[in-house]
């Protein structure tokens, strides 16, 4: 394919905007699905349109039980709910492709009748042998049109005998097919290099190419957003639209997400799964903000902005073709910013929910409320909370500093703290008294408080020490020191 100079992309249509995301239930939700869905959702909402979820479940062998429900959970969690879907219904359903088989068959047969498609009875073994020979002779692997020469009488005889063929596209030869991607401009394809794509499989299920065109038309999709891996399918889809006599919606192919080393994000990396972000304590609003900046820039170069602001600013024509870098460090930074923006009560509530779902440690809501003010400015993810606060629920079993030589100092600190009354066991009073003692003993503050910190928590870096002692209480603090 060749790509001429990019011309100005189409502006947003004044017609009713309807966008869709069409995932396959072949695994747990992928971050790339949410990435594209966010653009679909924002564009539809900006133009008072509708955002649809369509389940492309025609590959029955690869379908995973529970994957569809997990997908809905991911969309709900991210805060981009659909207007129409299998679970919500709508006026253009059904929204699962497995429930629309008659529609696909009808249109596949229409193409056969028009001469744009044909029956293919070739066995898997023959197809594999043909491709093997083509590869050996360094030809582009594609169907050799063996069944194109079959006469109608033979075809009917084989159909009457119960043979179950596939239906293939009849790609025109010797043509230049000009397709438009609104992100990259016009792209020219050589039809001689395009395979006669299977449209309807022998089991009556459509392939992606037939189903996506038929569904997008009958579901009245106005703008199509999908990954750049589908650019090679553009000429096949354009031909189908032309053959059916339908207008092809504007196509926007988003660039592939890439790791910091420029490699493609793949399922081999744990961070492609939406569940990974939930387990690590990434806030949905932070992830939305982060994804929005991959392939798009805020008109005022803002880094932090709300979903409503994104919706009011976003337009599909502003998408960029350059593959954006998915930088986990930047996402953590952004997540920390969102954590700090949360009111303490709201942060405590969310940490409690995260605690109950993902942490093995048991934190009471009272303890979470007490500790949130101590760690809010430090947290980048909810997962870090346990690392900072675990010592509140369990005395340390190991220590980041050897305290053997500090036993006398620790014993003397315990003696000072024993003199405190319960009612005066407060952070400010504890800090003042301990500083005075360290000065009298001529012990540097840094060394003195580090010894105390490690003795109580096991760690060198913790939430503020005096406030932590107040939360631990006099009895637990002395127990640990002794």
Annotated binding site: 267
Annotated binding site for ATP, which residues?
A: 267
The answer to whether 194 touches 236, Cβ cutoff 8 Å, is yes
Angle (nearest 5°) at CA 257 between 279 and 63: 65
Percent helix / strand / coil, the chain, rounded to 5 = 50, 10, 40
Could you give the CA distance from residue 25 to residue 42 in angstroms, rounded to a whole number?
Answer: 23
In the annotation, is 267 catalytic?
Answer: yes
- Comparing C-alpha atoms, which of 205, 221, 209 is closest to residue 166? 205
Six token digits for residue 191: 């039809």
Beta bridge partners of 168: 118, 198
Q: Would you put residue 81 in left (φ > 0), alpha (ψ -120 to 50) or beta?
A: beta
Which of the residues 114, 176, 267, 479 is marked catalytic?
267
DSSP secondary structure string for all residues of 178-232: EEEETTTEEEEEEGGGS---EEE-TTSPBPHHHHHHHHHHHTT---EEEEGGGGG
The answer to whether 295 touches 319, Cβ cutoff 8 Å, is yes
Q: Within the chain, what is the greatest distance between any pair of CA atoms?
A: 108
Task: Output the CA torsion 305→311→317→320 (10° steps).
Answer: 30
Count of CB atoms situated within 10 Å of the CB of 220? 15
> Phi then psi for 436, rounded to 5 degrees?
-60, -45
Active site residues: 267
């Amino acid at each position: 394919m060749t790509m001429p100079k990019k011309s100005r992309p189409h502006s947003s249509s004044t017609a009713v905007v309807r966008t869709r995301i069409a995932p396959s239930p072949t695994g747990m939700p992928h971050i790339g699905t949410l990435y594209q869905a966010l653009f679909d959702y924002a564009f539809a909402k900006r133009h008072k349109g509708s955002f649809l979820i369509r389940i492309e479940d025609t590959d029955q062998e690869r379908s995973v039980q529970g994957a569809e429900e997990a997908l809905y959970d991911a969309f709900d969690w991210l805060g981009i709910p659909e207007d129409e879907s299998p679970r919500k219904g709508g006026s253009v359903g059904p929204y699962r492709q497995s429930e629309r088989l008659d529609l696909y068959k009808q249109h596949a047969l229409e193409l056969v009748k028009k001469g744009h498609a044909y029956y293919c009875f070739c066995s898997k073994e023959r197809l594999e042998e043909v491709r093997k020979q083509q590869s050996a002779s360094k030809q582009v692997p594609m169907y050799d049109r063996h069944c194109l020469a079959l006469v109608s009488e033979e075809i009917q005889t084989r159909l009457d005998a119960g043979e179950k063929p596939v239906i293939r596209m009849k790609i025109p030869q010797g043509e230049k097919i000009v397709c438009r991607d609104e992100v990259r401009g016009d792209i020219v394809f050589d039809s001689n290099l395009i395979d006669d794509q299977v449209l309807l499989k022998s089991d009556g299920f459509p392939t992606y190419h037939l189903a996506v065109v038929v569904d997008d038309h009958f579901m009245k999709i106005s703008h199509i957003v999908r990954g750049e891996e589908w650019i090679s399918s553009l000429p096949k889809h354009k031909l189908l639209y032309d053959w059916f006599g339908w207008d092809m919606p504007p196509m926007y192919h988003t660039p592939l997400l890439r790791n910091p080393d420029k490699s493609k994000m793949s399922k081999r990396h744990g961070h492609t799964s939406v569940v990974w972000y939930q387990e690590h304590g990434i806030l949905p609003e932070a992830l939305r903000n982060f994804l929005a900046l991959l392939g798009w820039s805020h008109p005022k170069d803002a880094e932090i902005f709300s979903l409503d602001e994104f919706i009011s600013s976003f337009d599909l024509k502003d998408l960029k073709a350059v593959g954006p870098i998915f930088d986990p460090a930047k996402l953590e930074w952004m997540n920390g910013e969102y954590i700090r923006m949360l009111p303490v009560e709201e942060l405590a509530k969310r940490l409690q929910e995260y605690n109950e779902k993902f942490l093995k440690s048991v934190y009471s809501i009272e303890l979470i409320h007490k500790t949130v003010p101590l760690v809010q400015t430090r947290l980048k993810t909810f997962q870090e909370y346990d690392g900072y606060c675990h010592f509140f629920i369990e005395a340390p079993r190991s220590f980041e500093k050897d305290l053997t030589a500090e036993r006398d100092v620790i014993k003397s600190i315990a003696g000072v703290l024993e003199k405190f009354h319960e009612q005066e066991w407060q952070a400010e009073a504890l800090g003042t008294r301990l500083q005075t003692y360290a000065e009298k003993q001529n012990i540097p503050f840094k060394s003195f408080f580090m010894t105390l910190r490690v003795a109580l928590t096991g760690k060198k870096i913790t939430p503020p020490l005096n406030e932590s002692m107040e939360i631990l209480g006099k009895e637990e603090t002395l127990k640990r020191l002794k």
